[in-house]
Amino acid sequence: MMMYRMKPALIKPLVFIACLFPLVFGIWAGFTDQLGANPIEEITHRTGDWALRLLLITLAVTPLRRMLGWGWLLRVRRMLGLFAFFYACLHLLTYFVLDQFFDWDEILKDIIKRPYITIGFSAFVLLVPLAVTSTNAMMRRLGKRWGQLHQLVYVVAVFGILHYLWLVKADYLLPLIHAAILLALLLVRVWYQRQSLPARRAAPQTS
Amino acid sequence: MLIKRPDDIKPSDITDEKIYHQRRAFLQAGSRAALAVAAGAVVPGLMFPGEAAAQVAALQFKKNARFSTDEEINSLKDITRYNNFYEFGTDKKDPAKYAHTLKTDPWNVRVEGEVEKPADYQLEDLIRESQLEERIYRMRCVEAWSMVIPWVGIPLSALIKRFKPTSKARYVEFTTLYDPAQMPGQKRGVLNWPYVEGLRMDEAMHPLTLLAVGLYGKVLPNQNGAPMRLVVPWKYGFKNIKSIVKIRFTETMPNTTWNLSGPQEYGFYANVNPEVDHPRWSQSRERRIGEFFKRKTKMFNGYEEQVASLYSGMDLRRSY
């Protein structure tokens, strides 16, 4: 609610800085030996965590907007989504460079043979067209098809959570919490769709 | 090069009584000191392993170069802050943060099953008749990371001989303490508590198998499985059961905790084997903590010469 009082011009820079914070903090942690005994593993986990969290935050924009009437949220949704993609890129780069050090043979084997990597990599691949078509120009060019294409974000979210679930050894708590949040976000959407069913025929789906 | 089986105890090996009393005092002082540091004003999260180690008593031991690797030893800091000890939480940093609530003194160990005389032992009773040795072993986790660790302990075979197992004893089963008040991670059912592990008798009697009570020349820190843990260096780390309270000799193969949790993924034998992948990840390489590039994993974690004969004729793909 405070955001209404704030200058609209400040909202995006603030969110931008907030989204960069995990990266900045991570780099600082790296230099101050706070990444633990296995820093590559820690970086892999943190970048993955933030990719998934930002994805869920992005998916929370529309439900929050509808429930609380926070119109300003829509303006930062693209930025949040792109930051999710940004951390996903860092996560993938960490895996390619720090973990496997460009061993493409091993990487290919991993992607083909290890289900949690197959699904994780697929989630990333599906994010690429979403990132590429995030510009205003693309939105205009694709028109109605833009909304259809960006339904893929639900698939990405599901794949991301399965990736998480399939890599833990025994402690399923955090992956299941993420799954519960995603489920809640999807259910809210379904509920709103049911509410506005007559109106849907008039306006294109922007979810 | 065959490892000779250790001979019977020579008169020169018997602990001098003065050293025996010193050792008792050291162990008691060590665990009390560790507890004092933990229970004191120090905020658990800020306590560095180094501080605790400085307060913990040094152990008297002899170095066993014959069984030690000359690879670079990992730092005490890394060994004591990167642990899988789900009894204190499932994050690698959790044991160092939370294991201070474990009371390691007094420590009772029950020995039962196929033995001549089942009995309860105090920790000091178990180790007093053997000379403590330092052995520098590789440790390979099933998650594909590894360390080199300077353990201090006694060969398990020495203890087993004392217990006099009957002819029906084909396996040894170990059990960890179960006490959620001391081990808060046990309040969650991530694994079936208490933690149970086991070895075949010939694996338990093997000269490499160690019962460790110390690390880096000092009493074992809580997060590393104090006061007494198993070290079987040719197997994945989860076989190295920590904070042992029961040793039971059995006829049948023990039901081990990780095997119960994931029967397709964690077997009884759990021998380090780069040719048999974990269903969800490769075991052909590992990250040595402290190094950037991954290493090729060695058969039996590099102890193939010493232990391969235990498994001749076995299909290690099926007996994983």
Q: Whose structure tokens read 């049948």? A: B252
Average pLDDT over residues B63-72: 95
What local confidence, expressed as pLDDT, does residue B47 receive?
Answer: 40
Confidence category of residue B20, pLDDT binned at 50, 70, 90:
low
What local confidence, expressed as pLDDT, does residue A10 receive?
Answer: 87
| pLDDT tens string A53-90 | 999 999 999 999 988 888 888 889 999 999 999 999 99
What local confidence, expressed as pLDDT, does residue B35 receive?
Answer: 44
Cβ contacts of residue A161 below 8 Å, gap of 6+? A52, A175, A178, A179, A182
Average pLDDT over residues B199-219: 97
Q: What share of chain B in percent tops pLDDT 90?
A: 81
Cβ contacts of residue A66 below 8 Å, gap of 6+? A188, A192
Indicate yes or no: CB of A36 within 8 angstroms of CB of B93.
yes
Q: Whose structure tokens read 């290690």? A: B316
Picking from B190, B281, B294, the nearest residue to A171 by CB comes out as B190
The C-alpha atoms of residue B311 and residue B320 are separated, in whole angstroms, by: 11
| pLDDT tens string B73-90 | 999 999 999 999 999 999
Bin A143: left if φ > 0, else alpha if -120 < ψ < 50, else beta: left
Let me know: does A29 contact A35? Beta carbons within 8 Å: yes
What local confidence, expressed as pLDDT, does residue B1 receive?
Answer: 41
The C-alpha atoms of residue A165 and residue A159 are separated, in whole angstroms, by: 10
Indicate yes or no: CB of A170 within 8 angstroms of CB of B143.
no
| pLDDT tens string B219-266 | 999 999 999 999 999 999 999 999 999 999 999 999 999 999 999 999
Indicate yes or no: CB of B281 within 8 angstroms of CB of A109.
no
Chain B, residues 276-305, CB within 8 A of chain A, namely: 280-282, 285, 287, 289-290, 292-294
| pLDDT tens string B50-63 | 444 445 778 999 99
Q: Which of B76, B139, B276, B280 is the best residue to mutate to test the A interface, defined by the most A CB atoms within 10 Å of its own CB?
A: B280
DSSP secondary structure of A76-110: HHHHHHHHHHHHHHHHHHIIIIIITTT-HHHHHHH
What local confidence, expressed as pLDDT, does residue A5 receive?
Answer: 62
Residue A33: half-sphere exposure toward Cβ, Cα within 13 Å = 6
What local confidence, expressed as pLDDT, does residue A7 receive?
Answer: 73
What local confidence, expressed as pLDDT, does residue B68 receive?
Answer: 96
Chain A, residues 9-38, CB within 8 A of chain B, namely: 36-38
Whether pLDDT at B274 is above 90: yes
What's the residue count for chain B? 320
Average pLDDT over residues B281-303: 96
Whether pLDDT at B5 is above 80: no
CB distance from B82 to chain A under 8 Å?
yes
**CATH number of B14-311: 3.40.50.300, 3.90.420.10, 3.40.50.2000, 3.30.530.20?**
3.90.420.10
What local confidence, expressed as pLDDT, does residue A70 receive?
Answer: 86
The C-alpha atoms of residue B302 and residue B208 are separated, in whole angstroms, by: 12
| pLDDT tens string B151-166 | 999 999 999 999 999 9
Pick out chain A residues at pLDDT < 70: 1-6, 197-207
Chain A, residues 48-107, CB within 8 A of chain B, namely: 98, 100-101, 106
Picking from B82, B293, B294, the nearest residue to A36 by CB comes out as B82
Residues of B in contact with A37 (CB under 8 A): 74, 77-78, 81-82, 92, 289-290
How confident is the prediction for chain B on average, in pLDDT?
A: 88
In the numeric block, which tokens belong to residue A10? 């400040």
Q: Which of A113, A71, A107, A70 is nearest to A92 (CA)?
A: A107
DSSP secondary structure of B231-291: E-TTBBGGGS--SEEEEEEESS----HHHHH-TTT--SS-B--TTS-BTTB--SEEEETT-
Residues of B in contact with A101 (CB under 8 A): 292-294
What local confidence, expressed as pLDDT, does residue A6 receive?
Answer: 67
What local confidence, expressed as pLDDT, does residue B4 receive?
Answer: 43
Sign of the C-alpha dihedral, residues B287, B288, B294, B299?
A: negative
What local confidence, expressed as pLDDT, does residue A160 receive?
Answer: 97
What's the residue count for chain A? 207
CB distance from B93 to chain A under 8 Å?
yes
Whether pLDDT at B42 is above 80: no
Q: Which of B310, B134, B161 is nearest to B235 (CA)?
A: B310
Whether pLDDT at B103 is above 70: yes
What local confidence, expressed as pLDDT, does residue A196 receive?
Answer: 76
CA distance, residue B270 to nearest chain A CA (Å): 15
CA distance, residue B78 to nearest chain A CA (Å): 5
pTM assigned to the model: 0.84
Per DSSP, what are the bridge partners of residue B58?
A: B218
What local confidence, expressed as pLDDT, does residue A66 receive?
Answer: 87
What local confidence, expressed as pLDDT, does residue A195 receive?
Answer: 82
In the numeric block, which tokens belong to residue B125? 């009773």
Residues of A in contact with B281 (CB under 8 A): 114
CB distance from A167 to chain B under 8 Å?
yes
Residues of A in contact with B280 (CB under 8 A): 114-116, 166-167
Among A119-123, B124-128, B190-194, the least confident range: B124-128
